[in-house]
Amino acid sequence: MTRPIRLAYLVSHPIQYQAPLLRRIAHEPGIELTVFFGSDFSVRGYRDDGFGVEVKWDVPLLDGYRYEFLPKLRDNGTNGTFSPICRGLLSRLAGWGGQPFDALWVHGYATALAMQGILAANFLRIPVLLRSDSSLKDRARSPWKLAAKSAFFHMLRPLVDAVLTTGTLNEDYWRLYFGPDYPLFRMPYAVDNQWFQAQCALASTRRRELQAEFQLEPGRPVILFASKLQTRKHCDDLVAAYAQLSGMQPAPYLLIVGDGEERLALERQAAGLEGVRFCGFRNQSELPRFFDLATVFVLPSRHEPWGLIVNEVMNAARPVILSDDVGCQPDLLTDGVEGFVYPVRDVDALADALRRVLATPETAVNMGRTALKRIDAWGLEENVAGLLAALTHVTRLRPRVR
């Protein structure tokens, strides 16, 4: 019997979204997974500049899979181009005097840690799988920066054996920079659908508690925003669109979950709007209660590479309204089916989308059911299938040591 594929995964730090996926991969019989982290700052707790608060995640980040924190050379408690930087990866990939790993999966490419892993694997002739959430809808760059980026990818391409793509826009990105014939394997950006569906079902039994906490009248629709209060998230557009709904009956509420640099400006903007509630930062396990409370979820971001919060809320069978600059939109939302898509920064179009989804209670319910059905096919099992296909491909190119 062929032994399992020994897979090393290199990533900067434990990430709350990734932990369920790593646990699932660890239980796959054909894969023997070891995760190498560059830093433990997310486990210790840290200040998230986007939220503007101290964050310590209340879901398990390290349970259910084999991992190791690499010895540090530099770690300033953030994830950046030159932090963390570690040592000892080459010897670990080589197997500490035993058999080396069969493949290395690297998260991202624009950091010293990622390049350290890619170069070490190539030195050992271990195939490399690369995954990132990049898309061509990224922020504008000058011609010289684009030229430098193209030159970098020309250098990177022969060092990577295959790319694990997160969705349609991500595939377009890699086809542009690595070429149309480069091996791509879909490993979709997903969340633990079963966990979120179970938590949302449980939250429905406590809905009145949250309604009482924020003084919400049962029967009135709830528009939900849940993300960092940063400029690029453009919650200000949502507040402006909400203001256009005055006179709608029953009058909807707008719940803003999150914190960050724009909060004071948003509070000033919302002054006088009776239905707006600021709920502050909420940890991962608390979010399903707000998903359950919502009638519709809105993400008006600009330059949003994916938006995993959309995956999460669709598991509550809620419709979503997205700007056309949110990366998950082509894969998770068809305009008029699971919700609506509008041109980013177009406040009038956003207000119209809100009116359409709130036109009748049945409209939101039916769209939410369709959203749940769509997200059911975009989960962890699809991730494992894509990873296995990629591993089979690269280990055939470079036969494994028996």
- pLDDT value at residue 50: 64
Sorted by where each starts, the structural domains of the chain and their CATH numbers stand as 5-190+379-397 (3.40.50.2000), 193-376 (3.40.50.2000)
Mean pLDDT of 243-252: 94
Nearest residue to 33 (alpha-carbon basis) of 43, 41, 21, 42: 21
pLDDT bin (cut points 50, 70, 90) of residue 1 is: very low
As a three-state string, the secondary structure of the chain is: CCCCEEEEEEECCCCCCCHHHHHHHHCCCCEEEEEEECCCHHHHCEEECCCCEEECCCCCCCCCCEEEECCEEECCCCCECCECEECCHHHHHCCCCCCCCCEEEEECCCCHHHHHHHHHHHHCCCCEEEECCCCCCCCCCCHHHHHHHHHHHHHHHHHCCEEEECCHHHHHHHHHHHCCCCCEEECCCCCCHHHHHHHHHHHHHHHHHHHHHCCCCCCCCEEEEECCCCHHHCHHHHHHHHHCCCCCCCCCEEEEECCCCCHHHHHHHHCCCCCEEEEECCCHHHHHHHHHHCCEEEECCCCECCCHHHHHHHCCCCCEEEECCECCHHHHCCECCCEEEECCCCHHHHHHHHHHHCCCHHHHHHHHHHHHHHHHCCCHHHHHHHHHHHHHHHHHHCCCCC
Q: Quick one: pLDDT at residue 46? A: 61
pLDDT higher than 50, residue 178: yes
Model confidence pLDDT, tens digit, residues 284-309 = 999 999 999 999 999 999 999 999 99
Q: Is residue 399 very low, low, confident or very high in pLDDT (cuts 50, 70, 90)?
A: low
* 128 closest CA partner among 88, 101, 89: 101
pLDDT at 281: 94
Predicted pLDDT of residue 140 = 73
For position 393, what pLDDT does the model report?
Answer: 96
Question: Which span out of 14-18, 76-80, 275-279 was modeled with the highest average pLDDT?
Answer: 275-279
Cβ-contact 25, 66 below 8 angstroms: no
Q: What percent of the chain has pLDDT over 90?
A: 87
Residue 402: its pLDDT value, please?
A: 45
Tell me what pLDDT residue 45 has: 75
φ, ψ for residue 256 (rounded to 5)?
-110, 105
| pLDDT tens sequence across 147-167 | 999 999 999 999 999 999 999
Q: Which residue, 2, 232, 53, is CA-closest to 137?
A: 232
pTM: 0.93
